[in-house]
């Protein structure tokens, strides 16, 4: 029996309605920018397997380092112990992060990095004797699936069944360069009438909101205002971190630095699950006390797993090489050229780009996970390209190591879809 058939018996897949989408493709191996299914067919991984494998799948500079350390060190409890990979990683990460970051808390994935950040922001005020329970977040933001992360997210398909059970969150529109004064007015009212603990935001790009991009200067203005009000700033860089916006972190492009930064995904180059939440010395000092109750009592069994730390060290070293930086610049240029080419197509409503992140909106209205979206996904896969449209948005976030030939293949398949889309839409019932 094929693996895809065996899969159906016991496995419950994420983000899947199994009754309407019963098949899951079995991937047998991955290398470089390619995924290979059990029949041997290859697919260019146009989204780096959810923005993780930015240095290519099974990059030997990462896998060899992990293979070496696993002969001597596997899992170590991180409460009461420490180890060289975790310490070295903290040194490398702090050197890479914005200058105000001083402390790191390790966890397991993007959602947990946000969960940690949100809890730190709430306990920070509690420890200082000023209990604050309100969080500000952007409309259409997505920060993860655990309860705290879900609370500060705003996508109904994820949150619907849990409304009324979540943290108190007030949502504001993203800054677009034209609504700064309006946003400041709204924030003044919120800060005057509510006890606001923190503001969480995806800097520059909202990933799950179909790569919605916002204005850096306007964002900086509202961050500066909130900082002056004593509101902790939490930058969710789970998707944007580690080079994707053209700088190590999106926060590098904004003058007002966050108090807390959440990171995961490309942290380990996609090899192993891991996350980190960084903070300023001031935030950490609110927990530093003779009173044990003021400590941060949060922990994960696999916190700072030595293998994950080693993978992250190798990935960070790769990111800082001139070879990878040159490839990032090349991918940015490829997208710029393609954007100019495709933006005038009659089926295209608009294009946008931030670093290696490229998004294209189709000039039609459709549901996020409906039948037409699934047809588009199948169209790409049949032609050997793995892209996951979000409603009418097609986005690309390919590995940094992708070559021009593979990049052109992605572009050509998208252009081909645009030509066939009118007939595809006509024959589709959503």
Beta-bridge partner residues of 262: 236, 277
Alpha helix (H) residue ranges in 320-427? 322-342, 371-382, 404-426
Beta-bridge partner residues of 278: 104, 261
330: left (phi over 0), alpha (psi -120 to 50) or beta: alpha
Q: How many CB atoms lie within 10 A of CB 367?
A: 12
Alpha helix (H) residue ranges in 172-294? 180-193, 216-228, 281-285
46 near 385, Cβ under 8 Å?
yes
Q: Which of 281, 243, 370, 308 is nearest to 69 (CA)?
A: 308
Q: Which two tokens stand for residue 425?
A: 């839409």
Q: Which two tokens stand for residue 95?
A: 């050197």
Tell me which residue range forms the domain holding 267. Answer: 63-319
Q: How far apart are CA 258 and CA 253, in angstroms?
A: 12
To which residue do tokens 């790769």 refer? 318
Judgement on whether residues 298 and 163 belong to the same structural domain of the protein: yes
> At which of 256, 287, 319 does a domain end?
319
Number of domains in the chain: 2
37: left (phi over 0), alpha (psi -120 to 50) or beta: beta
Helix (H, G, I), strand (E, B) or coil at 66: helix
Judgement on whether residues 330 and 311 belong to the same structural domain of the protein: no
Per-residue pLDDT of the chain (430 residues; tens, 9 = 90+): 889 889 999 999 998 889 887 789 999 999 999 999 999 999 999 999 999 999 999 999 999 999 999 999 999 999 999 999 999 999 999 999 999 999 999 999 999 999 999 999 999 999 999 999 999 999 999 999 999 999 999 877 778 888 888 999 999 999 999 999 999 999 999 999 999 999 999 999 999 999 999 999 999 999 999 999 999 999 999 999 999 999 999 999 999 999 999 999 999 999 999 999 999 999 999 999 999 999 999 999 999 999 999 999 999 999 999 999 999 999 999 999 999 999 999 999 999 999 999 999 999 988 777 789 989 999 999 999 999 999 999 999 999 999 999 999 999 999 999 999 988 876 665 4
Judgement on whether residues 157 and 295 belong to the same structural domain of the protein: yes
- Which strands make up the sheet holding 275-279, listed edge to edge? 103-107, 275-279, 260-263, 232-236, 196-201, 134-138, 169-172
- Which strands make up the sheet holding 393-396, listed edge to edge? 348-354, 357-362, 393-396
> At which of 253, 285, 319 does a domain end?
319
Q: For the domain that residue 212 is a member of, what is the CATH number?
A: 3.40.640.10
Judgement on whether residues 19 and 89 belong to the same structural domain of the protein: no
Judgement on whether residues 229 and 347 belong to the same structural domain of the protein: no
Q: How far apart are CA 201 and CA 187, in angstroms?
A: 14
Judgement on whether residues 144 and 193 belong to the same structural domain of the protein: yes
> At which of 275, 302, 319 does a domain end?
319
Judgement on whether residues 69 and 114 belong to the same structural domain of the protein: yes
Residues near 96 by beta carbon (within 8 Å), at least 6 away in sequence: 248, 249, 316, 320
Q: For the domain that residue 400 is a member of, what is the CATH number?
A: 3.90.1150.10
Judgement on whether residues 18 and 159 belong to the same structural domain of the protein: no
Judgement on whether residues 15 and 131 belong to the same structural domain of the protein: no
Judgement on whether residues 165 and 21 belong to the same structural domain of the protein: no
Judgement on whether residues 358 and 379 belong to the same structural domain of the protein: yes
Judgement on whether residues 72 and 146 belong to the same structural domain of the protein: yes
């Amino acid at each position: 029996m094929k693996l895809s058939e065996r899969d159906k018996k016991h496995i419950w897949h994420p983000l899947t309605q199994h009754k309407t989408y019963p098949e899951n493709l079995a991937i047998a191996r991955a290398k470089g920018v390619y995924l290979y299914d059990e029949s041997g067919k290859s697919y260019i991984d146009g989204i780096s397997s959810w923005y993780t494998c930015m240095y290519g799948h099974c990059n030997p500079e990462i896998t060899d380092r992990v293979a070496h350390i696993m002969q001597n060190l596997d899992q170590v409890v991180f409460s009461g112990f420490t180890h060289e990979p975790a310490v070295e990683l903290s040194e490398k990460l702090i050197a890479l992060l914005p200058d105000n970051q001083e402390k790191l808390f390790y966890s397991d994935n993007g959602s947990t990095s946000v969960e940690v950040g949100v809890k730190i922001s709430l306990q920070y005020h509690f420890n200082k004797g000023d209990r604050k329970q309100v969080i500000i977040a952007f409309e259409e933001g997505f920060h993860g699936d655990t309860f705290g992360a879900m609370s500060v997210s705003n996508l109904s398909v994820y949150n619907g069944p849990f409304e009324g059970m979540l943290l108190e969150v007030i949502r504001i529109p993203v800054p677009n360069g034209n609504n700064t004064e309006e946003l400041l007015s709204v924030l003044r009212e919120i800060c005057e009438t509510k006890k606001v603990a923190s503001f969480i935001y995806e800097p520059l790009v909202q990933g799950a909101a179909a790569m919605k991009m916002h204005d850096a200067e306007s964002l900086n203005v509202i961050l500066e205002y909130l900082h002056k009000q004593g509101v902790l700033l939490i930058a969710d860089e789970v998707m944007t971190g580690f080079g994707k916006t053209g700088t190590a972190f999106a926060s590098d492009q904004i003058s007002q630095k966050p108090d807390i930064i959440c990171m995961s995904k490309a942290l380990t180059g996609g090899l192993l699950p891991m996350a980190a939440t960084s903070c300023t010395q001031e935030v950490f000092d609110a927990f530093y006390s003779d009173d044990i109750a003021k400590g941060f009592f949060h922990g994960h069994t696999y916190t700072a797993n030595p293998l994950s730390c080693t993978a992250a060290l190798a990935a960070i070293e790769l990111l800082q090489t001139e070879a990878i930086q040159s490839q990032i610049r090349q991918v940015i240029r490829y997208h710029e050229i393609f954007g100019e080419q495709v933006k005038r197509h009659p089926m295209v409503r608009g294009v946008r780009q931030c670093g290696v992140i490229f998004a294209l909106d189709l000039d039609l209205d459709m549901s996020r996970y409906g039948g037409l979206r699934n047809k588009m996904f199948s169209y790409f896969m049949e032609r050997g390209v793995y892209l996951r449209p979000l409603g009418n948005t097609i986005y690309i976030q390919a590995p940094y190591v992708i070559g021009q030939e593979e990049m052109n293949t992605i572009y050509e398949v998208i252009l081909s879809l645009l030509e066939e889309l009118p007939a595809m839409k006509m024959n589709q019932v959503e």
